[in-house]
Each structure stands twice: as C-alpha cells, then as structure tokens.
Structure 1
Amino acid sequence: MAKVIVGATPFEGHVGPVLTVAADLVRRGHDVVVYTGSRFEARALGTGARFQPLPPEADLDDRRLDSLFPLRATLPPGPAQLSFDFETFFLGQLPAQVRGLRALLARFPADVVVGELGFWSIPVLSLAAPPRERPTLVTLGSVPLLIQSADTPPFGAGLPPTPGEEARARNRAMNAEVRQLFAELQSFGAATLASLGVPIPDYLFDVPFRHTDHYLQLTVPSFEYPRADLPEHLRFVGTLPPPASRTYAEPAWWPELSADQPVVVVTQGTVANTDLTELVVPTVRALADLDVLVVAATARPDGPELVRRALIDVPDNVRLAGYVPFDRLLPHADALVTNGGYGGVQTALYHGVPLVVAGASEDKPEVAARVEWSGTGVNLHTGRPSPTEVRAAVRTVLSDPGYRAQAGIMAKEIGQHQPFDTIAEIIDASTIR
C-alpha cells in the first residue's frame, strides 16, 4: 500500500479528474489524501479518501470568481484574462498552496503526489529537490497541451499545425512573440517561485510540463497535434472513464431517449454556465422545428427555470434539465453541442458522440480547434453563436456520417488505453524505488 496525496486547484474542471483518480486508488487499497478546496470535502470523502483543505488564502470558490474578483469580468478572453487568472488563481495562491502541502507531507509522508496541470506545487517540489529526496510526482493533463513546440502554433492562437519547414519557422516566430507578450507574467512567475526558493528555468507555461516525473495527458494521440519535441516523460494515457452514477433519478421523459428520433444534447459545462444565453438558449431556439429531441443539460439547479425565462415558450421537442450524468445520457446522444470544456469533450468522444463546439474562454477555443482538426465535429469559432449558426452545424453533424465515424474511431482508440492502470503502475513502482 502506498501513501498518495492528490491535489488540485479548487475549480470544478480541475478537481473532477483528480477525484476520479483518487477513487480508483482507494479501490486498489492505497492510503489517499485529497488536498483541494473545502467546498469539495464531501465529494472527496465520498471517494473513500481522507481530506485536507487548502489554506484559507488558497481556498477559492470558483462559483464566485466574478463577484470576488469583479475586474476579471471586465477582461476579454485572451491574454489579458489569462494573465489575470495566472497571477490571481495559480501563481497568486501558490505560496499558500505549497506551505499547506509541505505541512501535510510532514505528517503524511506520501510516496506519490498526483496533481492536475494547475496544481503548481508539483513543479515547485520537482525543482526544490532531486527525486530521491521527495515523492514521485505525477501531473494529469486535463487541458490541451500548452507546451511550446516548433511543430505547432502557440497555444491560444486556435490554429491547427501545418507541415513543412516554412510552417516551423512561422511557429518559432509566433512562439517568440507570445513569450514577449507574457513577459510581465513571466517576471511575476519568476518572483513567485524565487520566494519559494526555486528558479524558473523555462518559459512559464512550459514549467508544469517539464518539471514533473510523469506527465499523463488525459486523451489519445489522435486528438492532439503531433509534436516531435515533447519531453520523454509525457505520455498519452487515454480518457478517464466518466464516473458511474448510482443515485440519479431518471426524469419522466427519459424513455424518449430510446425512440427513433435523433437526440441532441446541449451543455455549457459546470463552470462557464453563468449565462445560458451564450449557447444553451440559442441551441434550443435553433433546433425548435427540427425532427430531433433536444436535452438541455444546464448543470445547475436553477438552469431549467433560467432557460424558460429566456424563451418564454419552451419548444415541444426540448427537455430541460439541471444536472444529468453523462455516463447515462451520452450513450443515447447523436450529437453534443458544447462550449468546449476539455472533460466534457473527452467524455463525448469516449462514447463516440460527434460534436458542435462554441467556446471563447479559457482553453475552449483550443479544444474546439482540435475537434475540428480531428474530424470529430464542427467548430463554430465563437462563444456566442447565433441560432442560425448552431442549426447549420447540427444539421451538418447529423447528416454527414463522417463525423460520427471519426468520433467512433476515436472512441475505439480511447478504449485501447487504461489510464487507471498506468497511474497504478507508477504508484506501485514508487514504493520499491
């Protein structure tokens, strides 16, 4: 039995994957402590693990970010918002996060620390001591690869790669421009890490990729742009299976999912769902007169009522819902309309469901670009599409069998990977080193 700490920035999309991993490690008999925000305590304990909250200075509530940090709401998606997020949520909370982790390690000497990309304590531990003097470090990649490469345009451009030396020269030039664009953030990161007694030896956004023992990207190679210069410790391990729902009460309309009518699911995920008029409402309007059953999975208790207010009249072919577990819903779906959350897209592909993606914030444009590049769906290139745009995209995905076929090929590739086994092998090896 190994002692394992799993840690995450206290945001829903960051915490979900580590809780899934924690549950599997507990099932395998390991002693696990979850280290993240206090609002996730009940869910962490539900995995069978123990729980340690982040120090108060780092214990954020991602449901209240705009009210706690009103400046963020005024920043457009892109470099300005990304810089704010890193300075405020990732680097800004890092000293407290590291202090709490070191205190936890002093009384719970873990063999392994598992964290997601935003859990910057992992590169700090990696830079602070050689492998023999610290736990084995495992980073889970739950967003598209940010690491710079001569083979791809920089993260954030939303551009797919093109072959040839001319393209590589362009990529190198664009990467240099991006490094200059984030020069102030680089300095902020260097000062933050220096305060913790470690250097910043690389471009800021490359640090979590290069300074860990095992970087496990939670997708398959066919969903990510090919690169010849990735670190050797970076591996594609497949998509985490969606957690099995056990207590969900199926609504009265559930049998309709098994009828002959195509099923289109629309969601804005669990975080970027504050304004449902961005995607859910336009999709409902767009598909109102099509011969499809529309399930609006709003992922919030008041979601159905908010959609009703926006629409006045709910179309007959629409079923409004709050939280619906995707492990039950997506096997019935013929298409998923989404704002591009990485986890939701991977879950759709796990089930072989083609996609229509409309995302503008965080990593969502890059997720949408990879959906388009991989042939598994349509990228609307906006976070607030019109009903006309959504309607055309959905009709394209439903009528062109190539999207469904490509999503099915991706699902087969996902099925060939066993991410839990890969993580378990690393854990087992750590106890005999």
Structure 2
Amino acid sequence: MIQKNRQKKLSLILALVMLFSAVGCSKSAGSKTSSSEAGSQTETTVETEASTQETTGKASVAFSDLKERDNDFLVNEDPKYQELIDAAINGASDSYFKGVMALATDDDVLLFGSPGAMSIDNSPADPYTIYEVGSISKTYTAVMIMKLIDQGKMTMDDTLSKYFPEYKNGREITIANLLNMQSGILDYVNRADVFFQGAERDPQEIITTPGLTDEEFLSYLYAQKLYFEPGTRTDYSNTNYHLLALIIEQITGESFRDVVKKEIFDPLGMEHSSAVTTGDETSMPDPAIGYHQFQEGARGAGDIHSCMADMVTFDRALFGGDLVSVKSLMRMKDFKSKEYGCGLYSYGKNSYGHQGSVACYTSENIVIETEEFGRVYLIASTSDPDQGRNLEKMALYVSSYLEMK
C-alpha cells in the first residue's frame, strides 16, 4: 500500500509539472502589497488573479523531462548524473529531510524531490509550490543594487547620508558596508529588544506583525549607536538589507515589490515568485505558526516568496551573467571577510549561496562550482519548523560530495 501511494503521488506531481510546462499557466495571488515610496506604508487587500502569461524561463520545460523514481523523487535519467542524483537522494534520506528540493546545472534539471511535503490543497508539493524563502531575499536585494550601479544611478561608495540626511552616522557608512554586513548597525530583527527599546508595543510583536512604518523604523535607527567602526568587521544584520530596499525605492520611485517584479521576476518568467506579498503561499505551513505577516517591514531582508522551478531559473540567470554585469557579479562573490559577499555567503572554496529562515520556513540556495558538471544548484525549502537542522544536514551532505568531485 505504501509503495502504491508513493507511485500515485509521483504520478500526480509529474502530471502537474507537465501541465504547467504545456500551458505556462500561473497560479499566483496578488496580495497585501505596498506601493510605498521610502518613508510611507500603504495598506492593501488580498486579491487572487489568474495569469496566462507565457513563461520565458527554462526551468518548467526541464522539470517536465524528469522520470519517476521511488521515495518521492523525480530524476534525470542521463547516466552521467546518476552518482550525483544518488548522493542527493541518500543525503535527503539520511537526514530525514521533509520538504522540497531541486538539483540542477546550467543545462539540465537533475532532480526534484518532495518527501513529506504538501501544498495547501492537500496535494503533494510540486516544483511550483510557493514557499517563503526568508533571508535568501537578500540575494535579490543585492542584485537590484548591482543593477542600479550598472545603470550609473548609484555607487558602492555612496554614503547613507545621501539617502538619509537626518542619520548622524550616515556619513560613515557606505552602500558597500551595507552589502557586506560591515556597517556596524544593530540587527532590528535578531536584536529587536535593543533596537526597539522604549517602544509601546512588544519588540517581538513589532517584527512579526504588520504595522511598522518606514518613519518609525528610521526613528529607531537614528537613535542607535554604531556597534563597531564601519568596514572593520563583519556582523550579520537584517537592518542593512532593509535599508537597501528603502534606498532602491528612493532611486527608482517605485515600491520594492514592483521594481523586483519588473526587473527580475517578469523578464525571467518567474510567475510563482513575489516580493512584499502576503497570501500567495501555496505550501502547507505549520498550523501553530502560520505564514510570515511582517512583509512590509521585512522588505529587502526577508520578504521573497518563490518555488523550486523559479529559483532554478533565477540562479541560472544570475550566475550565468544575465542579470548583472561581470564586474558586479564578481563583486557579489568577493568574500573579503571570508564569509559574506554581497547577498551571498561563502560556503567553501567553490560554493556560495544563502540560507533563509522566517516563521515556520527554512530554505537553502547553494551554488557549487565543479569541474565535472560546471555550476550545480542545490535548492531546498521546508515549512516544518523542526526540519531546519535536517535541511542543513542534507545540504551539507550534497555540497560536501560535490566539493570532493
């Protein structure tokens, strides 16, 4: 009976993949969004729309070529990939991973798996099921900054005083400091108790529910001292990337949600991805925690929603040189602190990417450069709050295998 249920699940996933590939349809939800410029916040309502826009991404077509294999996986049957595919499946099994995962190169999708993962309609999660990817959002924010630099609209040496003249520490901090996590600014999420000291609301409530305006956020920022001299050390702070989102809005005159859609999602055909949005998730959340509601206040730092197919498309475009200039991509991967570049962590000699955790979700997006396969993309998400460690184990297992190739 168990084997029959697995085969039924895989057949359903494969049918859904082929359906998406054939019609290029989009099952997206509009949302509670913000059309704010920096310094304002607008309340909106949730609306659901159906889109029939043709996708320009390659990922959906590639996923449809995968074949069924036992244990919740669809795989590429090319013999040259079988050892790698086996390593990925073994990594997921040995780590007791429950969630969705994809393995791809620039030319092929090698694997999609969804052990124990369900969508909100109680069907198995598929490559288009939408997850909250948390701090992986920072990679998208860094891309937008690099695009504006490529367009000559800003520079890495711009200081914060250019964009926030009332900020007394702004003359000391550059865009590069924000990108590289070397600003000295306190993390408003992980140190909310200090950042929002004296607030009428509980700090944890502030960073988990809607309501924080840009004006309020900046007033708390301006009251903070720097915790080290900018550029002298690396200290991860969500505040850096939220500020970058506000700067993007100032320069473009558009909301962060709209500019990311226009500059990244739409050109790549990422129809199952969104920024600063609520209500479009199609993955089953943990019932005790639910979805992330602090989207407006987290823009730039942890607001992106996406799916496995779209994230493969994004990775291929970014690291293939289709989104930013060669110089900007090199800067993103310049790990001066030996740990953090621009929206990317260094995971080893030949691997980099980003991890994300928000509400009940944990995600990994890792790029491993190999001689045998070129760039290999390992992407995974789970909505089970107890699966974060298992996801990390699985990712480490696969990336370590590839590092040795």
Same fold by TM-score greater than 0.5: no
Q: Please give the TM-score of this superposition, normalised by the length of structure 1.
A: 0.25
Q: Looking at both structures, which has the greater relative contact order when contacts are Cα pairs under 8 Å and sequence separation is at least 6?
A: 2
Larger Rg: 1
Q: Please give the TM-score of this superposition, normalised by the length of structure 2.
A: 0.26
Higher fraction of helix: 1
